[in-house]
Structure 1
């Protein structure tokens, strides 16, 4: 057993807190960017230091012991405080202070609207560099980003937030196939399915007083940005958020079927994290995105 004079294994404590949060050694290793064996070794080191088991086998799963839960709950918040403070101080002294990291759970929004306009924001702000990362997973305190743009992820950390867009759904198709046609065209042309947004089509059908039997089901795509080329070039339809097709509609590449617009009940939001190394710039970015979304929304009479 380790003596009281031995150094406190801080890396092992950090690894154990991640195990407690993620619920397994495997997921903790993934979150830390480490190997499963190294995280297991950290767990063993900490158990040796504390002189007791922190996890126990229950059936086919490993779970925290009562002592393990108490220890994790006690040290997690102070550890977060230390990590946040260290990150702030490190960023403050970095030569790349004029840089932002934007994380989003909206890859098509980033692809179709955000990224094409980033150069304008950079020029407006004197050459700021904006890194964009996309993830559908729930953010954790160990993730490094200044801004979160999302529709469906909650933020537990302190942050300022802006509502960007009250999502409107529209049914679109190639002008060659749908121009001049009414909503009844959906009975003769297949509608593509987006597996990352299984809520969209049922929500839209209910609003249109239709059932799944009233439409032709088309091919499946993971994300809207993968489906857009298909609907632009093929004889098929797509029900999508209006904001991600607005530029294509303005350019005449896609056409909104009259009478197909309806709210989805979802809201896009931007969060400027308090732990950002450049909070004022992060808030300026969120205000800029809010203006961009307002400008991008298609105003078209059905």
Structure 2
């Protein structure tokens, strides 16, 4: 026996009226006229042979049958929507959505994406650059690159690499080309999320008093731009500043570089576990991270633990 179903448009109109309690509100949500919604309600009632709503002028309320039916239909439509979304994602199987901090995406990940594209021409990345702490169930990315200690309950994670803290500034702040701790600490302080106390920890001898940050930022990218313009010295991570240091846009304001207490991790929910797309990105990302760490440790003055 074939499946007999009422028109989907009539069900959508009914569920919208039941949820919003108003034909006017339902018509605005569905982008149709009030008359079209009323017609859909009547056609559904005629199809079922049951009154679903009580009408009093422009006001409507659900009958007892309508209330039960609305609950059941809403559940059914939610199931259809969920199944369809899963299938739609499977149809876009060549896209891997990655959540990442804007500063890390701009200064570390993006400069390396040319290599990714050369080796994985058939696999696209969707980068969600945001300061927000991603909720995998709500926001829907396949994985995220996070900076922390590796403790995220309910998620899989793999350590990628460590990092270090350092001070950077515009070259014109040190015209002789020699970093100076005294000069660095006397300049205007630029700060995003890093701790000056961590960078200073373990130092001996008398130091100039630590100045309050002259400028504070929520992300490292505008902070580094402020440093590049000569507004002060910026406390940042090697991974974020490395490109500008290599290009000569910034210079070390002090020779002191301290190993960071946090590391970068690739994090993913259980639904992504075993995904071939994720496995390809994970392997590539790990190779890039290992190369970065090797370059960091091969320097003549590698950072040391605070």
Matching residue of 1:248: 244
Deviation string, structure 1 residues 125-170 (Cα, Å, up to 9, x no partner): 12321111133225242321111110148544453x3212212101
Matching residue of 1:23: none
Deviation string, structure 1 residues 12-52 (Cα, Å, up to 9, x no partner): xxx9xxxxxxxxxxxxxxxxxxxxxxxxxxxxx9xx76xxx
- 3-state DSSP class of the match of 1:122? helix
For residue 212 of structure 1, report the CA deviation from its aligned partner.
Answer: 8.7
For residue 280 of structure 1, report the CA deviation from its aligned partner.
Answer: 1.4
Matching residue of 1:91: 89
Matching residue of 2:300: 301
For residues 122-161 of structure 1, the aligned pairs below 5 Å read: 122-135=117-130, 136-152=132-148, 155-159=152-156, 161=157
Q: CA 1:237–1:90 in 2, change beyond 3 Å: closer, same or farther? A: same
For residue 83 of structure 1, report the CA deviation from its aligned partner.
Answer: 9.2
Counterpart-to-counterpart distance in 2, 1:86 and 1:129: 22
Question: Contact 2:136/2:269 (CA < 8 Å) preserved in 1?
Answer: no
Matching residue of 1:285: 281
Matching residue of 1:270: 266
Q: CA 1:174–1:207 in 2, change beyond 3 Å: closer, same or farther? A: farther
Confirm whether residue 181 of structure 1 aligns to residue 179 of structure 2. Answer: yes
Deviation string, structure 1 residues 87-136 (Cα, Å, up to 9, x no partner): 544422x1x321110012x2201111112322321221123211111332
Question: Contact 1:170/1:262 (CA < 8 Å) preserved in 2?
Answer: yes
Q: Tell me the TM-score normalized by structure 1.
A: 0.63
Matching residue of 1:193: 191
For residue 258 of structure 1, report the CA deviation from its aligned partner.
Answer: 4.1
Question: Contact 2:184/2:254 (CA < 8 Å) preserved in 1?
Answer: no
Which of the numbers 220, 225, 228 marks the counterpart of 1:229?
A: 225
Matching residue of 1:220: 216
Which of the numbers 109, 123, 144 marks the counterpart of 1:114?
A: 109
Counterpart-to-counterpart distance in 2, 1:130 and 1:110: 12
Q: CA 1:267–1:87 in 2, change beyond 3 Å: closer, same or farther? A: farther
Matching residue of 2:167: 171
For residues 60-99 of structure 1, the aligned pairs below 5 Å read: 88-92=86-90, 94=91, 96-99=92-95
Counterpart-to-counterpart distance in 2, 1:231 and 1:211: 22
Deviation string, structure 1 residues 237-284 (Cα, Å, up to 9, x no partner): 111011111111122221123432112211110024431398112122
Structure 2's unaligned 5+ residue stretches are 1-14, 20-63, 69-78, 302-306
How many equivalent pairs are there? 231
For residue 82 of structure 1, report the CA deviation from its aligned partner.
Answer: 11
Matching residue of 2:47: none
Q: CA RMSD in A?
A: 4.1
Confirm whether residue 202 of structure 1 aligns to residue 201 of structure 2. Answer: no
Counterpart-to-counterpart distance in 2, 1:277 and 1:89: 17
